[in-house]
Structure 1
Amino acid sequence: MKRIVTLFLSLVLLLSCLCAPASAMFDPSLFYEVQARSAYIVNTDTNIIVYDKDSSRQVPAGGLTKYMTIALLLTNYADQLDNTFQMPFAISDYVHNSDNADMRSNETFTYREAVYAMLLRNANEAAMGLAYSLSGGDLAGWVSQMNTLSQRIGTTGSTWTDACGLDSGNVTTAVDMYLILRYLMSFDAFVDISSAPTFTMPAKEKHTKSFVLLNQNVALNKTSGGSFYRKSMQGGMCDVMAYKNDHGDQSYVSWANQDGSTYIFCIMQSPDTCDTYGYANRRPALYETTRLIDWVFQSFSIQPALDTDLALAEIPVKYSSDTDTLKLYPDNSMMTLLPSSGDGTVTQKYFHLPDYVCAPVQQGDVVGTVELKLAGETIGMVNLIAGQDVSRSSLLYSFSKLQEFFGSLYLKVVLVVSAICAIIYVVWVLLNSPRTRHSSKKVHRYGRPRD
């Protein structure tokens, strides 16, 4: 029951964050020309899609598959991460030469340690060993659960065929990876582990001493990250574990935060040639991610689009002797993503208002809305409220209603019907009066008889 509640709450949180994100409206090409085959960048504070390049294109998932394995683990065992399992020998052949955290058969690990190994080292043995143990050896059943959860999260272009990503049947899209990462970010354990530059694995049955796992997300490490290091980087994962694959391209899914503003970056299939930092280990997708991190934080910031103390519109008032018009104010400042060099004046405002309002009106009453657009795309809708109380004049109200009555269709219909009835009655009276009846009788005249 607790697992179901955890899943439900996480999905509610996710859906509340994902309601109708605005269309992409920003172009990084003046700052950096994206070379990835597909990409998807979203500001999670406003749900504004900052950049979208063929985000529904299906691509190999590779090591990013582990995000789904971790999602399934946290959905069911978020409060049991210190439980233990024994690394099964049965998965040894499958992960041979890709056991990136040196987790050996028959060693005992906690679920948390396995998550560290997956997130920091993209360790296939951690994903497969955990899946094998938790499923009772039914890896097909585990994969089926991965696909079911993926669909619940909202993915439409993803298919999962194993727990670690070695199988080429694992495919996904940039927008699907955004949804999965957004879901994972609702778990505190995931956020904490992802941001760790290193993790010390305790001594095990086949490791007499503890050993350190260095996070492959070098953008987190100021000491060893070099040009990749970004203070704003919070966590991320590549689709390959050794930064080299058969296709010569890489994908990277991550998120960054600066000054309280958070973005998710899903950069898929960046070509090897785009990494110009010059290190021996080329990281093209992470390279593009860092360039795009620089772009968003230099170009945009969360700002108020409206001033709640400034009237945006004025509307006529009926039935009041106090005022002929009513000023309308926004009911909130609508914090949104705007160019750092500008302010709310860069937005276009489209008002949705009635022709007039009728007194009485109370201050704070919602009268209409204003739609805000930036670069032609809607970024939000705000209520417009009355700025003052407006009382109703009984005399003006009564006079107006009297005018309305005499000018109403109802009265016109009554008058026409009454006139028709009156005409019919007059005609009937004329036709049925005694004089009319007498005159209508025939008169027969007879001459005198002759003598």
Structure 2
Amino acid sequence: MRKQLAALGVLCALLPGLVLHTQAAEAPAVSAASAVLMDGETGRVLYAKDENTPRAIASTTKLMTALVAAEYLGGDLSRQVEIQREWTGIEGTSLYLVPGETLSLKTLFYGLLLPSGNDAAVALACVCAGDVDTFVGWMNQRAQDLGMTHTHFSDPNGLGDENHYASALDMAKLGRACLQNPTVAEAVATKSLTLEDRQLVNHNKLLWQYEGCTGMKTGYTRQAGRTLVSSAERDGQTLICVTLSDRNDWADHKALLDYGFSVYPRTVLAQAGEELGRVPLEGSLLHMAAAEARETVAYPLQEGERVTVQVDLPDAVQAPVVQGEIAGTARFLVNGQVVGETYLVWSSSANRDVVDRKGLGDLWDFLQGEEAPTFAQALELLEP
């Protein structure tokens, strides 16, 4: 077999970048009916409370509206559109659109996410899909694509009926997808701006109150209560927090984010360029070929978690080898589950420069002849 196993908790020298942290803390008690804390890079759930129960989500719905619109528009928000009467007069929070006025898609997009305009949601849906129902169909399809198995949308703004819901875990998956979309990520992180004579202020107080907050979305209806999706970054680690039906959401998000950063810090399992194995090299003056990680692999680890690495390399390799070419793979496991992987590539090139037995025999025969060979003739005989 070509596979080797090493317990990193014991053999840390194999991966010098690995540090097993010893900080520990109890998970905070939160007042939310449902809550999830997720690592944004890996999707690991760090905290969960009733995470799969479908609940009303209010205006956090608009994260999906924004994601679908941004993907449909390709991130281009420069186009001007004329506001139609049927897009106006929507109940609840509003961008106060006026029939006949002309606004950019950027104003509608930021008006959707910062002041949470319900009319902006309808306008974007109709601009993209032609009508609200078609756009909502796109939202539900995107939810399926993201593995949001306890979610259904019935409108683009969250005012919906009993058929409009999502679980906390599903909303964390959505939040992760939003952060991976540059257009959405930039908008949800914006505290305020003025567009076309409209002053837009983000309802997310954590942008001012929590160091490292990178945004996301608030929501409230009488049916849903207070809902909140937030994200924050610290020391290269991004966390996503979701609470549904939470009367104390600002404090709960701060506590959960602090908990995640302290108890599950981002731990580098392998750095790009770090040597992870060597194999015998045949046909070269070099005896071994080194293989290194092509990408950095990291994972949030808590105290005492045991990591193993599974290295898959050939038993031996024939020269020549070329630097950067794929040599094998390395997989990292926690509790038997693969949590990261990277290709292994050759650290350096090696030419084939060892003479085979036939070449040596031919040279010996030539040397025994009446005329000594020239230097060029000898080299020709020795060529692999």
Cα distance change of structure 1 residues 80 and 353 upon mapping to structure 2, 3 Å threshold: closer
* 1:164 counterpart residue number: 157
Alignment deviations for residues 133-190 of structure 1 (CA, whole Å, 9 cap, x no partner): 6666x43333334334444455433222122111122122334334433444454432
Deviation at 1:333, TM superposition (A): 6.9
Matched, 1:49 2:44: yes
Query: Structure 2 residue aligned with 1:32, among 28, 32, 37?
Result: 28
3-state SS, counterpart of residue 229 of structure 2: strand
When the two structures are aligned, how many residues end up with a matched partner?
Answer: 330
Return the letter of the residue paired with 1:70.
A
Deviation at 1:63, TM superposition (A): 1.2
Cα distance change of structure 1 residues 322 and 69 upon mapping to structure 2, 3 Å threshold: closer
Which structure is higher in RCO with an 8 Å CA cutoff and minimum separation 6? Answer: 2
3-state SS, counterpart of residue 239 of structure 1: strand
* 1:288 counterpart residue number: 252
* 1:234 counterpart residue number: 214
Bigger helix fraction: 1
Percent identity of equivalent pairs = 19
**TM-score, scaled relative to structure 2:** 0.67
1:85–1:133 Cα contact (<8 Å) kept: no
* Alpha-carbon distance between aligned partners in 2 of 1:155 and 1:116, rounded to the nearest angstrom: 25
* Alpha-carbon distance between aligned partners in 2 of 1:131 and 1:299, rounded to the nearest angstrom: 41
3-state SS, counterpart of residue 171 of structure 1: coil
* Alpha-carbon distance between aligned partners in 2 of 1:333 and 1:79, rounded to the nearest angstrom: 31
Deviation at 1:215, TM superposition (A): 1.4
Matched, 1:335 2:335: no
* 1:88 counterpart residue number: 85
3-state SS, counterpart of residue 112 of structure 2: helix
* 1:194 counterpart residue number: 188
Deviation at 1:336, TM superposition (A): 0.6
2:192–2:202 Cα contact (<8 Å) kept: yes
Deviation at 1:353, TM superposition (A): 6.0
* Alpha-carbon distance between aligned partners in 1 of 2:182 and 2:281, rounded to the nearest angstrom: 55
- Work out which of the two has the higher radius of gyration on C-alpha atoms and give 1 or 2: 1
3-state SS, counterpart of residue 114 of structure 2: helix
Alignment deviations for residues 367-394 of structure 1 (CA, whole Å, 9 cap, x no partner): 6654323455432235567789698796
Q: Which ranges of structure 2 fall in alignment gaps of 5 or more residues? A: 1-22, 358-384
1:40–1:49 Cα contact (<8 Å) kept: no
Cα distance change of structure 1 residues 116 and 375 upon mapping to structure 2, 3 Å threshold: same
**TM-score, scaled relative to structure 1:** 0.58
* Alpha-carbon distance between aligned partners in 2 of 1:103 and 1:258, rounded to the nearest angstrom: 38
* Alpha-carbon distance between aligned partners in 2 of 1:135 and 1:329, rounded to the nearest angstrom: 50
Cα distance change of structure 1 residues 189 and 298 upon mapping to structure 2, 3 Å threshold: same
Bigger strand fraction: 2
Cα distance change of structure 1 residues 386 and 147 upon mapping to structure 2, 3 Å threshold: closer
RMSD over aligned CA atoms reads 4.3
Deviation at 1:219, TM superposition (A): 0.9
* Alpha-carbon distance between aligned partners in 2 of 1:263 and 1:295, rounded to the nearest angstrom: 10
